[in-house]
Each structure stands twice: as structure tokens, then as C-alpha cells.
Amino acid sequence: MNDSSLRVGVIGLGRISAAHLGGFRAADGVEIVVVCDTDPRKVEAVQMQLGVPGLTDYRSVLNDDTVDGVALLLPHQLHYAVAREALDAGKHVYVEKPFTVHRHEADELIRSAEERSLTLAVAENTRFVDAYIAAERVVRSGELGEIRAVRGFIPDQILDEWADEPDGWKRQPFGAAAIMDCAPHMLYLLLWLFGEVESLQAIALRYVPDVELENHGVIAGRLASGALFDVTLSSVTEYPRGERVEIYGSAATLVIDQVLDPPVILYQGDTDPKGTPLKEVAYDLQGWKRRSIEAAAQDFIVAVRTRKPAAVDLAHARTTVHLVECAYESVARGGLRVDVSAPLTSD
């Protein structure tokens, strides 16, 4: 890499790739030099749009000495293997969430990047959502008082995506299951804003008979601080795609809901029924997620250039993977409580 240009290869051109590409294209001194996907139709469409070479074999990207870093926008199941090869090839790596599907895989990637002095970043867009950045300010200020409870909800509807790709990765193990696909956002948020999780328990249901993955899940537990949390994740809701977080403190409550206008309101108790909107967070149902993904891509570029860690703490990303594993352990045990610090049956 020279001082004037960072050359990036993008591997994986699914639905989410457009926002990542937008982030890289908007960053100064960045050149997308190659795109890659196993589907030649996707490759053709994107390479024509960007005017860059398109490939169907990711190893050709990794073997290209002119590529400084790669963005891995791949199925969850492939994150670890391709990221490991990319680090072995001397590339800086930006990988979509979830970081990996197993904790030991995340540990290996972190060690590999450190040994090679390469930047490894997880594209967890939650860290760059305007509403959550505002929430961090309010929580850190102490305005809410002692945090007593946190509730999260991610409603989604992806039946059309399953129908479009009946044999695709989203139906496979570790695919677009409600817990694997959605829980990382909320679990990462808990770690970032409130600290470690002590224990959790989870239940899950399948509402779609021909898909062997849960479509609805609930994770509840206790933070190390003593506060309780619960997270509901659903991919079969007839509701706009958004995210809702409620933070209940001893002095005030903060409610975030991307579907509502205004999206963030601070309530000062039961005598304050209308609350006070946080003016720094604008209503933008169609754009809030895209903008946060673009910001994640740009943060990766800054991390590579400055040789400083990316904004998403890799320890938090790694622990998020572990919490997902704990949730599935609880589901397998009929919803029983799982101590996060205890060995899992899969360990």
C-alpha cells in the first residue's frame, strides 16, 4: 500500500454489499480494484457499475499482490475460513458480522492479525448508528441513573429472501436464523454500552415448516452489573424493518425505535408522558442502517491508515460470538440458564 491509495477487493456481492460499496466509494484515497462473487450475474452487474474487474474465485483476489485489503461480505459460515486465508495472504480484513460462528475461530483470527500486524475489523454497523451513539452519550453521562433493565427488539421479514433462494446459504446451518443473524447486533450493543453479560437463557421457535432454522427467538439474562436484559428477534414480523431498544434507569428512561418519528425519546419518569426527543437523531427509516454500514466501511479505512484499532472492539466482537453460542446452548437445553463463564458442551 502506498500513502496515496488504499486498494480494496470486495468479496461477496449479496444484498447488503451495496451499502458497504457506498462507504468505500465515499472514502478519500480508496480504490475498489476488484469485486468477486460465485454468482457471475452479480459480478457482471457490479463490475459494470464500478468499471472494475470481476471474478468468481475469491482466491484470485487474495493472490493479487496489488490488493491491500479485502471486504468479506460473505455467508456467516464462510467468515472464518476466508478471513484466515486473507490474513495468511497479508491482506487487511474487514468482515461482516457475525465475526465468526464459533468463539475459537474469532480467537484464531485475532491472534493471526496481531502476529502479522494487519488490521482486522468487524463490520458491526450497530457501533455507527446515530441513535446508539446518542444513547452512549446519555448512558455515560449518568443521566439515566443506575441501569436497571434493557430491552431490545429486532423485527424483520425475510420470507421473500428464502423464497428467492430456496437452496441458498440463508437456509443452511448458521444461515439467516433469527438468533445467528439478528442477535449479534443487540448482544454487541449490550457489551458496548453496559459491560459484560453474566448469564442468559434462550428459547426459539420455527414458524416456517420448510426451513430448518428458528425464525423467532428470545434471549434474556443478567449483566455483570446486576441489570436484567431481554432481546426478542424475529424474521417473520409484519412490521417495518427497524430496531427498538429501551433503557430503564433509576432516574430516567431512554427509548429508541427507528420506526417511530422521533426515533429517540428521553422520559423523566411517569409524570413525563411525552418525553423529550433527542434532536441530534433525525428520523430516517429508509436510511439509518445504510448510513451506519457506510460508516463502518469508512472506519476500516481509517484504522488501516492510522494503524489504530477499528471502532468495534474485537474483544466485544469475539464475546458476541460466544454469547450467541451460549444462546444456542440454552435453546438446546430447553431454555435453561447458561453461565457465560462456564464451558459449553460444544467446547
Domain harbouring 143, CATH code: 3.30.360.10
Q: How large is the average pLDDT for residues 294-302?
A: 98
Which residue type does 40 have?
A: P
* pLDDT for residue 2 is more than 60: no
Structural domain includes residue 69:
yes
Last residue of a domain, one of 77, 101, 123: 123
Task: Say if residue 132 is in the same domain as residue 103.
Answer: no
Task: Say if residue 39 is in the same domain as residue 146.
Answer: no
Task: Say if residue 252 is in the same domain as residue 164.
Answer: yes
Q: Which of 178, 7, 200 is nearest to 76 (CA)?
A: 178
* Rounded CA separation 77/168 (Å): 12
3-state SS assignment for residue 148: strand
* Mean pLDDT for all residues in the chain: 94
Task: Say if residue 108 is in the same domain as residue 161.
Answer: no
pLDDT recorded at residue 170: 78
pLDDT recorded at residue 157: 79
Task: Say if residue 25 is in the same domain as residue 137.
Answer: no
Structural domain includes residue 56:
yes
Last residue of a domain, one of 123, 149, 166: 123
Give me the CATH number covering residue 22.
3.40.50.720
69-72 and 92-96 beta bridge pairing: parallel
* Rounded CA separation 260/274 (Å): 13
Q: How large is the average pLDDT for residues 321-343?
A: 97
Tell me how many domains the chain contains: 2
Q: Which domain holds residue 329?
A: 127-283+322-339
Structural domain includes residue 346:
no
Task: Say if residue 89 is in the same domain as residue 164.
Answer: no
pLDDT recorded at residue 238: 87
What Rg value do the Cα atoms of the chain yield, rounded?
20
Structural domain includes residue 299:
no
197-205 and 147-155 beta bridge pairing: unpaired
Task: Say if residue 102 is in the same domain as residue 210.
Answer: no
Task: Say if residue 136 is in the same domain as residue 33.
Answer: no
Task: Say if residue 37 is in the same domain as residue 153.
Answer: no
Q: Does this model's pTM top 0.85?
A: yes
DSSP conformational letter for 285: T
Band (pLDDT 50/70/90 cuts) for residue 176 is: confident
Task: Say if residue 156 is in the same domain as residue 111.
Answer: no
324 Cβ contact list (under 8 Å, min separation 6) = 98, 101, 179, 180, 183, 184, 187
* Rounded CA separation 155/144 (Å): 26
Task: Say if residue 99 is in the same domain as residue 36.
Answer: yes
Last residue of a domain, one of 123, 145, 170: 123
**Burial of residue 178 (number of CB atoms within 10 Å: 0-12, 13-18, 19+):** buried
Structural domain includes residue 317:
no
pLDDT tens digit string along 106-164? Answer: 999 999 999 999 999 999 999 999 999 999 999 999 999 999 999 999 998 777 776 66
Structural domain includes residue 50:
yes
Task: Say if residue 156 is in the same domain as residue 75.
Answer: no
pLDDT recorded at residue 158: 75
Phi/psi for 10 (5° steps) reads: -110, 120
pLDDT tens digit string along 227-245? Answer: 999 999 998 888 998 999 9
Q: Which of 47, 40, 299 is nearest to 10 (CA)?
A: 47
Structural domain includes residue 31:
yes
Structural domain includes residue 289:
no
